Amino acid sequence: MGEHGYKIGWAHYKIMANFELFALGTPVMDGFAQVDGAFLAAHKLVPGSSNFMNEAQLATLEKALAGRMLRWDPGDNARNVCESFARLQSFEKKKADEYGVAYAGTLGNDQTGDRFLQMLKSAQITPLMQYVNGASGRILALITPDGQRTFAVSLGVSEQYKMPADLPKAKYFFIASITALTPGPISRVAWQMAEQMRRQGTKIIIALESPSMLGKYKERAKELAAKADTLFLNEEEMKALGLDEQALAKLAPLVFLKRGQNGSTIFSDGSKLADVPIHPAKKVVDTTGAGDNYAAGVIWGLCSGKDAISSAKIGSRLGAAAVEKYGASLPNDFRL
């Protein structure tokens, strides 16, 4: 493959001219802890929601969780998709420089940012990062006995991404609505990047996330969805947009509606194509990343030339595997 230079932040990467998947996101490290409802109430956290706060507030919460933290993993919807896509690619290709997966975002000049970068590389994802002074983003995923997740979020510098002078070429470009609808500067960049990537012939993939955010920015979210060649969302997100299935089917040429335990439904060119059953999990430990892994499997299937139904079945297998452990990564022994 041909190469071109990509200079961004402190680094000058030689990258492939044609990636299979390129994603823009808000990089964060995810910390997992088990708590009870009393802990959430004591710290005024809304159960089952994303509770946004500043760096000092998150640091105070971390101190309260001393001894309860289970693990720290790299997070962000787009990064999760890239990691699992790269895992699938590793089954097919032998050389690391052939994986063709790239991720762009902003990190702080801190240990959290260094750790995130190293874990990108270890996942065989080409990092196209910008760096600024400040704290890298962190999210605490607080898991109650009923399995529900409550998030405490400090995005740090991750929203401060600036439009680069050049973009790589890619078969698919992925963004999540959390990135594209955030009040931070990266939102504007995400829209500009999608337009420019489309002009280069790239297929645009958008995942609609967070019912509360979609409800708040309903019309803007619909406008974003209309830019997608392939769209992902779940039933709660569909309802937040005030849509029924008939209206949803017309938002994008290819739509994957995630239904949790009821599998998924595919819409193609404005009409229902098929229902795809869930792939059963051996056990459900943590649902973090289930939707991201479903999307990764679908995108990999489409990128490999498979049809939408076959791709959704692959997505279901990845989603089931992801819930069998803490965090968004697939189990180490996972194989298709």
Over 89-106, what HEC string results?
A: HHHHCCCHHHCCEEEEEE
Per-residue pLDDT of 117-128, as tens digits, reads 999 999 989 999
Please report the domains of the chain, with CATH numbers, ordered by start residue: 19-322 (3.40.1190.20)
- In this predicted structure, what is the pLDDT of residue 10? 35
pLDDT score of 117 = 94
Say which amino acid occupies 17. Answer: A
The pLDDT of residue 26: 94
What pLDDT shows up at residue 89? 87
Q: Is there a contact between 301 and 229 (Cβ–Cβ < 8 Å)?
A: no
pLDDT at position 92: 66
Say what the pLDDT of residue 286 is: 66
* Alpha carbon distance 189, 26 (integer Å): 12
Residue 8: its pLDDT value, please? 41
Task: Write down the pLDDT at residue 261.
Answer: 87
78 Cβ contact partners less than 8 Å away, ≥ 6 residues apart = 23, 24, 25, 103, 105, 174, 175, 176, 179
pLDDT at 81: 96
Which three-class secondary structure state does DSSP give residue 24? strand
CA 175 from chain centre, in angstroms, equals 7
**Residues lower than pLDDT 70 in the chain:** 1-17, 92-99, 286, 327
Alpha carbon distance 279, 67 (integer Å)? 35
Confidence (pLDDT) at 224: 97
* 3-state DSSP percent of the chain in helix, strand and coil, to 5: 35, 30, 35
How far apart CA 278 and CA 291 sit, in angstroms, is 12
